[in-house]
Amino acid sequence: MQLKPLLDKVVLKKVEAEETTKAGIILTGSAKEQPDVSEIIAVGPGGTVDGKEVKMTLEVGQKVIVEKYKGTDVKLDGEEYTIVSQEDILAVVED
């Protein structure tokens, strides 16, 4: 199955915590950095939302930071996703 978001919705998947530091130190359990970063899996087409035209500016594959406690959690085929509105995304993370 596949999630296909509508209007201004974006499907996200949480990025896994880093298991090693940049210096090569292996982290265990609670020492792992828990990122607030998610990867965009799917993007809706945009359109009219609450009487306003919404143009989608995000793309599949981008990593983003989302406002805390926003979105709807969904489990599909054993994978966990979060669906949010584009306006709930605070920033794009660039390498």
**Letter string b/e over residues 67-82, b meaning 16 or more CB atoms within 10 A of that residue's CB:** eeeebeeeeeeeeebb
How do the domains of the chain map onto residue ranges? Answer: 9-93
Indicate the residue type of 62. Q
Cα–Cα distance for residue pair 61/71, rounded to 1 Å: 19
pLDDT at 32: 46
Cα–Cα distance for residue pair 95/89, rounded to 1 Å: 18
Query: Per the CATH hierarchy, to which homologous superfamily does domain 9-93 belong?
Result: GroES chaperonin (2.30.33.40)
User: pLDDT tens across 77-86, in order?
Assistant: 999 999 999 9
Distances (CA, A) of 38 to 3, 25, 61, 63: 16, 23, 10, 6
User: pLDDT tens across 12-65, in order?
Assistant: 999 876 555 666 666 555 544 455 899 999 999 999 888 999 999 999 999 999
pLDDT at 84: 96
pLDDT at 10: 97
